[in-house]
């Protein structure tokens, strides 16, 4: 619970009902989309304006109270669990689209805006905002910015960072900064915009964002390629890019994922296939046709068993929806689902998928793998039971080995889900001791008292990296 | 001159002839592409490996000797002038292409590589590296990274930052860090890669870069649209983007620029036009045709006097070369050429060009304007004489007003040339007092003793911003 006088001062800023420390509010904000993590905050505050956020932050800085800023909490890295208590700042009231600028192709929005609501609005104006995390129906733009969210269209269109042109943010001191603007080019000083995107609420509180919009593609086609041989699917991914085609979407689902997705979405997928690639291309109609023909040829050359092009938009959307449902579908299997995010250079996808299988077998855990194959960004997903400590331990050991394998292939511990609590013990594996020192110095420069999302990104206990020789 | 024992230790690292403090070497590295700036370094060192850079940096840190890292010094912000003496580190010996990875579409290069040599090599392999600063024949990739260089293809393809996937860099302490990798997605910690790109050698010394390559466009067309009315040209820029077409190149030249470019390049340009737009589109042939038709229609609707499509590739290249020659051509007019870099939201191009004309007239200075209209990135260029202190003062006052106008239109003081010495007094106008404090804290986090390119970005004397009411 909050100190009574502090609560009253917070209520003085946002109004009585928007600053709470009742148990209901605290429990509701003690966890996020990440399994097996929970920690009670002392209070929950719902600001409505940037000025309120600034006032709140000044007050909390004065009292040295930690702050975790969140939207819908759909992240999978424990990024919004209030590990050290303090205040959870919920941004849902700041959810307005402030402007869509049709001259400059920009939109200026508040962070609590739901991603899907934003993309729907933008598309109704004949424009396009590509970042499309799987959680977009509930995720917020602010959350997407904090985590630098990717999505299914990332291969061709990039991730959230590529679409953030400017930010308004409140610093740990309560001061307000503005970075960038409606400018496609700006080199005035260090790039604070791109530094804040993906900083997981540890450097500042984003209160407004100016986003880049693009012209929408005129046409789109969707294809499924099915393989009895997983390596053939993985090779197809490399061969498509090597043939100088960048599809909008290039996703892979392995056999365990195919089975549960089909149970869930009733698509009549062939359950005996080792892998399915879901491929979309968009753009001008002739180009889409030509690219899809070329892609089909690559799939067949790599011994795809079947290649099906969606005949209608509805069919295509059902296929995409099925891929988006992978996490939900897997989550029905067993009580606890741990979705990971290892990423490798695209050329190593085949090696990585094989390694994941070997590691799962070695530790006797169930791991289904799907993900953004074109980005090299795989989501090996363990289905387990949090009540079985011994099994959970095996799952954790398997994931540690998976991260180690990713790094030894020139990859990273997280492609799009962020570090948060879950990956913090492993961050040094990727960035090294000097990299950690630089990041800690940046953190201290922004937040000398460690009030912004403490315990995230920088772990007290770092895992020792055991380099495993691969056979 | 360097302390004799320090020189000897530097020579011990790089070899005798690669560490010098003779007057010839010092004078040759006392200036860069920026007019009216010169400062003698104490010595010049030419490293060949990352390990040498690390050793050099450890030694210089121990002796608290400042370091300015440079390639060809073609920047226009005084970014590589050794203001506080010390050592100039010349990267030209580290100029190798270490790898082109055709599977992952990446290249790994050393910083001293000439940009044009790199793009030529990449194109010979059937790939494409879009950043194309006007200085690309002499500029280095390392310089492009330090300044986050743009170019003529920036509108569609973005700037250098969009193509840097990973870096190796030496910190002020001599430690070596590695950021990113051959990964299109990586959210492991703060984005040091994008922070270092554009940091102008003030945070670390880049020793290797992994760059993203893309498939080359299949076709390209080039068009000139000529206007008797400058506002019509500016409106055309907005209308093209509004019509959901993003050309590869969308450049503007005003009348003074047209005249000198034509004198220089002998293209037979119509010297009575107020403005010319140079427009390129690339991509699949049908799309290029269709876009160019649509663009032509926009030009004519905005009362272009003539629209000409280049009939041959050679003709197109002559037109592009003419635009690239604008700086050189203007530089022939008078002894001193000051090329500026004010940037506004694209929709304000017309207002900005008009304001530049008014400001030039008010201060009775010659300013020709050209630039990347599609990016809102204008290069108002004053031709003057450094020996005439009174006139130079008027030029400086005019530019201060131009920066003020850019910022009041939601723009920035530099779109692609960087802050360096020249813009340092104005940086606070764009980023505010809190923004300056954050940037200074980041600088201190990386470089506590202020050894890396001191005097750049952060000015001792900041200009007071006088907000001028526009009629």
Kindly state whether B40 is in contact with chain A, defined as any CB-CB distance less than 8 angstroms. Answer: no
What CATH number is given to the structural domain containing A135? Answer: 3.30.465.10
User: Is A462 a member of any domain?
Assistant: no
User: Is A456 a member of any domain?
Assistant: no
Q: pLDDT tens for residues B250-303?
A: 999 999 999 999 999 888 889 999 999 999 999 999 999 999 999 999 999 999
Q: Say what the ipTM of the complex is.
A: 0.96
3-state class of A122 per DSSP?
Answer: helix
- Return the number of CB contacts < 8 Å for A and B: 262
What CATH number is given to the structural domain containing A385? Answer: 3.30.70.2740
Mean pLDDT along residues B145-156: 95
Kindly state whether B24 is in contact with chain A, defined as any CB-CB distance less than 8 angstroms. Answer: no
**Subunit contact B246:A432, Cβ cutoff 8 A:** no
- Closest residue in chain B to residue A214, using alpha carbons only: B244
Which residues in chain B are contacts of A289 at CB distance < 8 A? none
**Cross-chain CB nearest to A377 (options B185, B194, B214):** B185
3-state class of A210 per DSSP?
Answer: strand
> What gap in Å lies between CA B260 and CA B366, rounded to an integer?
13
**Subunit contact A186:B414, Cβ cutoff 8 A:** yes
| Same-domain status, B266 and B182 | no
From B192, B212, B232, the end of a domain falls on B212
**Cross-chain CB nearest to A412 (options B186, B345, B434):** B186
**Cross-chain CB nearest to A434 (options B105, B171, B432):** B171
Instruction: Kindly state the tokens that stand for A391.
Output: 């099994």
User: Is A451 a member of any domain?
Assistant: no
Which residues in chain B are contacts of A153 at CB distance < 8 A? none
Strands A205-212 and B306-309, by their bridges, are unpaired
Which residues in chain A are contacts of B411 at CB distance < 8 A? 181, 183
Q: Is a pLDDT exceeding 70 seen at residue B467? A: no
Q: pLDDT tens for residues B233-250?
A: 999 999 999 899 999 999
**Cross-chain CB nearest to A104 (options B188, B245, B345):** B345
| Same-domain status, A104 and A190 | yes
Mean pLDDT along residues B339-352: 92
Shortest distance, CA B464 to any CA of chain A (angstroms): 17
User: Is A453 a member of any domain?
Assistant: no
So what's the pLDDT on residue A467?
A: 61
| Same-domain status, B229 and B184 | no
So what's the pLDDT on residue A471?
A: 39
Kindly state whether B187 is in contact with chain A, defined as any CB-CB distance less than 8 angstroms. Answer: yes
| Same-domain status, A51 and A136 | no
> What gap in Å lies between CA A66 and CA A451, rounded to an integer?
4
Which band of pLDDT confidence, cut at 50, 70 and 90, is reported for residue B466? low
Which band of pLDDT confidence, cut at 50, 70 and 90, is reported for residue B463? confident
| Same-domain status, A351 and A418 | yes
| Same-domain status, B232 and B271 | yes
**Subunit contact B181:A103, Cβ cutoff 8 A:** no
Q: Is a pLDDT exceeding 80 seen at residue B372? A: yes
User: Is B321 a member of any domain?
Assistant: no
**Subunit contact A159:B185, Cβ cutoff 8 A:** yes
What CATH number is given to the structural domain containing A69? Answer: 3.30.43.10
So what's the pLDDT on residue B471?
A: 39
Strands A106-109 and A97-101, by their bridges, are antiparallel
The count of structural domains within chain A is 4
Segments forming the whole domain that contains residue B259: 219-311
Which band of pLDDT confidence, cut at 50, 70 and 90, is reported for residue B155? very high
What CATH number is given to the structural domain containing B285? Answer: 3.30.70.3450
Residue of A77, A188, A244 for testing the chain B interface, max B β-carbons within 10 Å: A188
Q: What is the 3-class SS of B316-352, one letter each residue?
A: HHHHHHHHHCHHHHHHCCCCEEEECCCECCHHHHHHH
User: Is B278 a member of any domain?
Assistant: yes
| Same-domain status, A150 and A232 | no
Beta bridge partners of B379: B370
User: Is B325 a member of any domain?
Assistant: no
Which band of pLDDT confidence, cut at 50, 70 and 90, is reported for residue B470? very low
So what's the pLDDT on residue B287?
A: 93
Kindly state whether B246 is in contact with chain A, defined as any CB-CB distance less than 8 angstroms. Answer: yes
| Same-domain status, B185 and B243 | no
Q: Is a pLDDT exceeding 70 seen at residue B469? A: no
- Closest residue in chain A to residue B246, using alpha carbons only: A215
Q: pLDDT tens for residues B67-120?
A: 999 999 999 999 999 999 999 999 999 999 999 999 899 999 999 999 999 999
Which band of pLDDT confidence, cut at 50, 70 and 90, is reported for residue B200? very high
| Same-domain status, B205 and B103 | yes
User: Is A73 a member of any domain?
Assistant: yes
From B257, B280, B311, the end of a domain falls on B311
Kindly state whether A170 is in contact with chain B, defined as any CB-CB distance less than 8 angstroms. Answer: no
Q: Which residues, given as ranges, of chain A have pLDDT below 70?
A: 466-471
Considering only residues 269 to 288 of chain A, which have any Cβ-Cβ distance to chain B shorter than 8 Å?
A: 283-284, 286-287
In the DSSP assignment, the letter for residue A382 is E
Shortest distance, CA A425 to any CA of chain B (angstroms): 11
| Same-domain status, A323 and A230 | yes
**Subunit contact B187:A418, Cβ cutoff 8 A:** yes
From A90, A109, A141, the end of a domain falls on A90
| Same-domain status, B207 and B241 | no
Mean pLDDT along residues B316-323: 87
| Same-domain status, B285 and B301 | yes
């Amino acid at each position: 619970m909050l100190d009574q006088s502090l609560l009253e001062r917070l209520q003085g800023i946002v109004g009585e009902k928007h600053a709470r420390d009742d148990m209901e509010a605290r429990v509701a904000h003690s966890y996020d989309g990440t399994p097996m993590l929970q920690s009670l905050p002392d209070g929950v505050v719902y600001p409505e304006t940037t000025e309120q956020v600034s006032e709140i932050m000044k007050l909390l800085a004065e009292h040295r109270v930690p702050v975790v800023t969140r939207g819908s909490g759909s992240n999978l890295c424990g990024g919004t669990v209030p590990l050290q208590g303090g205040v959870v700042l919920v941004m849902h009231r700041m959810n307005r689209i402030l402007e869509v600028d049709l001259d400059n192709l920009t939109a200026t929005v508040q962070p609590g805006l739901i991603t899907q609501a934003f993309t729907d609005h933008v598309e109704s104006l004949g424009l396009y905002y590509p970042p499309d995390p799987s959680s977009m129906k509930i995720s917020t733009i602010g959350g997407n910015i904090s985590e630098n969210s990717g999505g299914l269209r990332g291969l061709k269109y990039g991730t959230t960072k590529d679409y953030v042109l400017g930010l308004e943010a409140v610093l740990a001191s309560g001061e307000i900064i503005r970075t960038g603007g409606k400018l496609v080019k700006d080199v005035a000083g260090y790039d604070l915009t791109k530094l804040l995107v993906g900083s997981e609420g540890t450097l500042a509180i984003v209160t407004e964002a100016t986003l880049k919009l693009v012209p929408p593609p005129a046409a789109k086609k969707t294809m499924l390629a099915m393989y009895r041989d997983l390596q053939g699917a993985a090779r197809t991914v490399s061969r498509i890019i090597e043939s100088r085609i960048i599809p909008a979407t290039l996703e892979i689902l392995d056999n365990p994922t195919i089975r549960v997705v089909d149970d869930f979405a009733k698509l009549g997928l062939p359950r005996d296939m080792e892998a399915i690639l879901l491929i979309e291309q968009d753009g001008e109609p002739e180009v889409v046709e030509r690219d899809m023909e070329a892609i089909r040829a690559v799939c067949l050359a790599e011994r795809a068993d079947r290649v099906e092009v969606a005949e209608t938009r509805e069919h295509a959307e059902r296929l995409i929806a099925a891929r988006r449902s992978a996490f939900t579908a897997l989550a029905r299997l067993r009580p606890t689902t741990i979705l990971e995010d290892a990423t490798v250079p695209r050329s190593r996808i085949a090696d990585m998928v094989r390694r994941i299988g070997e590691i799962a077998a070695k530790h006797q855990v169930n791991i289904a793998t799907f993900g953004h194959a074109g980005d090299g960004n795989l989501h090996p997903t363990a289905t387990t039971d949090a009540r079985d400590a011994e099994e959970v331990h095996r799952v954790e050991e398997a994931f540690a080995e998976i991260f180690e394998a990713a790094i030894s292939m020139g990859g990273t511990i997280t492609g799009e889900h962020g570090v948060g609590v879950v990956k913090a013990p492993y961050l040094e594996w990727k960035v090294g001791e000097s990299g950690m020192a630089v990041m800690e110095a940046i953190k201290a420069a922004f937040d000398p008292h460690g009030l912004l999302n403490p315990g995230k990104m920088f772990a007290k206990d770092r895992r020792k990296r055991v380099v495993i020789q691969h056979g």
